[in-house]
Amino acid sequence: MRLRGSTGQAGKQRWRAAAAAMVAATVLLSAGCSGGGDDSSATPQWQGGSQGSGEPGAESPSPQPTLSTVAVTAPAADATGVKAITEIKYTSEDPSNTTVEVKDADGAEVQGTLDKDDKVFKPAKALAWGKTYTVTVNGTPSGDKGGSTTSTFTVMKKPSQLVRVSSFLGDSQKVGVGMPVIIKFSRSVPKSNRAEVERRMVVTAKPAQEGSWYWISGTEMHYRPKVFWKANSKVSYKISLGGVEMDKGWYGRSDLTVDFNVGRSFIMVADSKKKQMTVTQDGEVIKKLPISLGKASTPSSSGTAVIIEKKEHTVFDTMDELPEGEGYRTKIDYAQRYTWGGEFVHAASWSEGVQGKQNVSHGCVNVSEAMGKWLFDRTLMGDVVQVKGTGRQLQWQNGWTDWSMSWDEYKKGSAL
């Protein structure tokens, strides 16, 4: 029994030693997980918080924005006689965070577009003649001395020499798929100024269609799409020439905006060899009718033109135009002009017996009274008339002949 008791006492001593060792190890392990003693560089990291704080979610102060020094470079401060289409130019070390505000003398803000890459503010339209404007450019921070600047300038007085810009088409008109846009100027624009003028003439179509301007002369411009307008398109054009110098000392009087509609596609093809007209609407042939074109001595012009004007009843009078004995004065029904030289699609009861068989007209497209009315009731200004197979070609500008030229040639008429 003493032997067993002696063994138990030794076991208790070994157990106490082992327990002490475990406690020490636990203390050392706890010290390692906590970062060790008073070492402040090992504070815990909290998601969403910042290092160095003993509380979850604490944030360090945000960095201050970079200072941007700004200045207005054009027009110069207190400048006078500034052009009405001037652009506002400025400098900035932080253009993406810089704002530009332009106001008139009454405090009304000038609308326009700000190009932060080029550091240019472009007014949406010409500024008022003789008025003073204030430009404020704000950088970052706006309260700092170099971060904000203000400058004023005064627009030139209204000039006495102004160019009037007019449009042949008016708002909401409906026209055929061959109708060109026609713009006229009251004074000829020299070639040196045409690119700047054309750049400010923008045509937009829905659906989108490629097109080009063509300078018919210094006083007239046309615009047509690459192919005929798409049926039922909506077209708008903005002529922003108010205040633009169009010639030395001559300025555009005002801007002009027009919206018009394109109708269904309606194309009339007159074939001299077949003595027949084929009428196509929206790609589908809807009528074939007998015709008589110009006789050998007065041939019709082959080419693509469009309806210029329509007169239900009129008189053709050539007494002063043709040699004595050849002139005539005749009442005409359902006349649709397509050349300035006097070629029409019209009813001709006197030639109905040979229509479809022989060409006997003075150059016009003769149809019957019934077919003359049928066509007249359906056509729009700008509908297409194509004549083919005759001995004479349609002359350039004998009518709205924009379609008698290839697309590549037409584009060469642009100043751009």
- 113-139 pLDDT, tens digit each: 999 999 999 999 999 999 999 999 998
- Exposure class string for 160-186: b at 16+ Cβ within 10 A, else e: eebbebebbbeeebebbbbbbbbbebe
Return the H-helix or E-strand segment holding 28: helix 2-33
Burial class (CB in 10 A: 0-12, 13-18, 19+), 191: exposed
Kindly report, residue by residue over 75-120, the tens digit of the pLDDT.
Answer: 999 999 999 999 999 999 889 889 999 999 999 999 999 999 999 9
- Report residue 1 as tokens: 């029994």
Residue 313 has pLDDT above 50, yes or no: yes
The per-residue pLDDT for 53 is: 43
The per-residue pLDDT for 29 is 34
Q: What percent of the chain has pLDDT over 70?
A: 81
Tell me how crowded residue 323 is: count the other CB atoms within 10 A of its CB: 6
Q: What is the pLDDT of residue 150?
A: 95
Q: Are 393 and 303 in contact (CB under 8 A)?
A: yes
Domains of the chain: 70-155 (2.60.40.3780), 162-263 (2.60.40.3710), 266-401 (2.40.440.10)
- Per-residue pLDDT, averaged over 220-228, amounts to 98
Which of the residue ranges 15-29, 129-143, 355-369 has the most confident prediction, judged by mean pLDDT?
A: 355-369
Please tell me the predicted confidence (pLDDT) of residue 114: 96
* Mean per-residue pLDDT over the chain, rounded: 87
Distance of CA 6 to the CA centre of its chain: 109
Measure CA 285 to chain center. 34
pLDDT higher than 90, residue 320: no
pLDDT of residue 49: 39
Q: Classify residue 411 by burial, with Cβ atoms within 10 Å: 0-12, 13-18, 19+.
A: middle
Of 256-265, 320-329, 379-388, the one with minimum mean pLDDT is 320-329
